[in-house]
Amino acid sequence: MSKIDLNTFNSLKESTGADFISELVDAFLDDAPTLIAQMRSALASQNAEVFRRAAHSMKSNAATFGAMDLSALARELESLARDNNLEIGNRLDAIESEFQQVKGELETLKI
């Protein structure tokens, strides 16, 4: 099953210009691992605010490209962190693996 909502992705492509989508996807794919790393280190240092901000950006960016499941996972994390709750179980690993699948699809779609 596709990890990317094609309606969202195509609408993004149309509004920003077909020649721009590749650059845009690259910006996201470059940025996302940094965000995940920020979440990991914020978790280690128990910094809920830094964690929340990183989750917030991940949620927003994933939704922009139509990666709805990834966005929902990030949103859940953002919400927990907002309540100062960093008991997140294995959700960060779930985000990591979801992102890998999203990345694979976006790399095909951007061409």
Partner 1 sequence: MVSTSPERARLLVIDDNKVNRMVLSRSLEQQGHLVDTADDGEEGLEKIRTQSFDLVLLDIEMPKMDGFQVLEACLNDVNLRQIPIIMTSAMEEVDAVVKCVELGAEDYLTKPVNPIMLRARVNASLEKKRLRDEQRKLFRTFATKEVAEELLRTGFSLGGKHVTASVMFADIRSFTSIAESQDPSDTIDLLNDYFGMMFDCINENKGSINQMIGDGVMALFGAPMYFEEHREYAVRAGLQMLEQLKVFNAQQAAQNKTQIHIGIGIASGQMIAGYTGTQTRAIYTCIGDTVNLASRIESHTKVVLRPLLIDNYTRLGLTSDYNLEDFGPAMFKGKQQAINIFAVNR
- Using alpha carbons, select from 18, 39, 22 the residue that is nearest to residue 93: 39
Q: Please pick, from the candidates 6, 20, 41, 97, the single residue that binds partner 1 as defined by CB under 8 A.
A: 20
Q: Is 46 in the site for partner 1 (CB under 8 A)?
A: no
By CB neighbour count within 10 A (0-12 exposed, 13-18 middle, 19+ buried), where does 8 fall?
A: middle
| C-alpha–C-alpha distance, residues 70 and 65, integer Å | 10
Q: Is 6 in the site for partner 1 (CB under 8 A)?
A: no
Q: How far is the CB of 72 from partner 1 (least distance, A)?
A: 12
By CB neighbour count within 10 A (0-12 exposed, 13-18 middle, 19+ buried), where does 111 fall?
A: exposed
Q: Please pick, from the candidates 47, 64, 91, 110, the single residue that binds partner 1 as defined by CB under 8 A.
A: 64
- Cβ proximity to partner 1: between 31 and 93 the closer is 31
Q: Which residues bind partner 1 (CB under 8 A)?
A: 8, 11-12, 14-17, 20, 23-24, 27-28, 31, 53, 56-57, 59-61, 63-64, 75, 79
